[in-house]
Amino acid sequence: MLITFEGIDGSGKSTQISLLKEELNKKGHRVEVFREPGGTDVSEMIRGMLLNPEIDIDPITELLLFSSARSQLVAEKVLPLLKENVVVILDRFYDSTTAYQGYGRRSIPIDQIDQINATATHGLKPDITFYLRLTPETAAERTKNFEKDRMEQSGDSFFKRVYDGFESLSKSEPRFKTIDAEQDIEAIHAQILKATLSKLK
Ligand code: ADP
Ligand code: TYD
């Protein structure tokens, strides 16, 4: 089973993923977590480039680098683990490319992003996608003391478009489970755990 977490920076994805992993482990499931971009040697090297605030990257190059990191992760880790019935949790997947490079950067039209996503994922789709919905204002408040990487330096109007992108996906993709991320950590965890267990049965 493949579970993905999506939402803008600071929406609580990492917090919720570690709680979910712990709970699934307690119930005897083997769980592997990867972050995107990342999770393999090649993908972590690409991550270093993508998040480095010292370098300028053209929007289409950026799109292709995120996609390259993803293709390697899927081929090297995700597909083999799914074959072994491991529960794979991804901290972001191709919906982030639609939201950030499609809606946020407006690099190329969304229908072309969809095609690149289908290639980069080797056709793999999540069984369930938890969308942690938080306004860009609340997310900025939560992360105001964190150091900003290259993507996080993209500005308020960029993050508003990314938010709109996730909102649009949440309406068109039935696999999206939208969670109000303004709630406290335990309340959010309980909803995520319940939805995951009902899918795992
Ligand atoms: P993400 O992985 O989506 O960037 P994090 O899990 O790192 O988000 O959370 C960003 C910040 O917000 C962290 O400081 C975290 O402790 C805090 N946080 C996470 N969930 C909540 C919540 N439900 N309410 C308040 N603060 C939260
Ligand atoms: P990361 O620190 O992992 O995210 P978060 O702040 O949510 O913990 O940084 C990844 C950054 O890359 C984040 O700003 C989202 C962005 N991103 C894209 O623009 N496109 C993508 O396809 C992916 C996977 C991430």
**Measured distance CA(180)–CA(11) in Å, rounded:** 10
Top mutation candidate among 142, 180, 191 for ligand 1, by most atoms within 8 Å of CB: 142
Top mutation candidate among 65, 91, 96, 166 for ligand 2, by most atoms within 8 Å of CB: 96
Q: Which pLDDT score, from 0 to 100, does residue 201 have? A: 76
**Measured distance CA(46)–CA(52) in Å, rounded:** 10
**Measured distance CA(17)–CA(91) in Å, rounded:** 8
Q: Which pLDDT score, from 0 to 100, does residue 83 have? A: 98
Q: Which CATH number does 2-200 carry?
A: 3.40.50.300
Tell me the average pLDDT across 143-157: 95
Q: What count of residues does the chain have?
A: 201
Closest ligand 1 atom to 8 CA? 3
Tell me how crowded residue 152 is: count the other CB atoms within 10 A of its CB: 18
Residue 166 has pLDDT above 90, yes or no: yes
pTM exceeds cut of 0.85: yes
Please, what is the average pLDDT of the chain?
A: 97
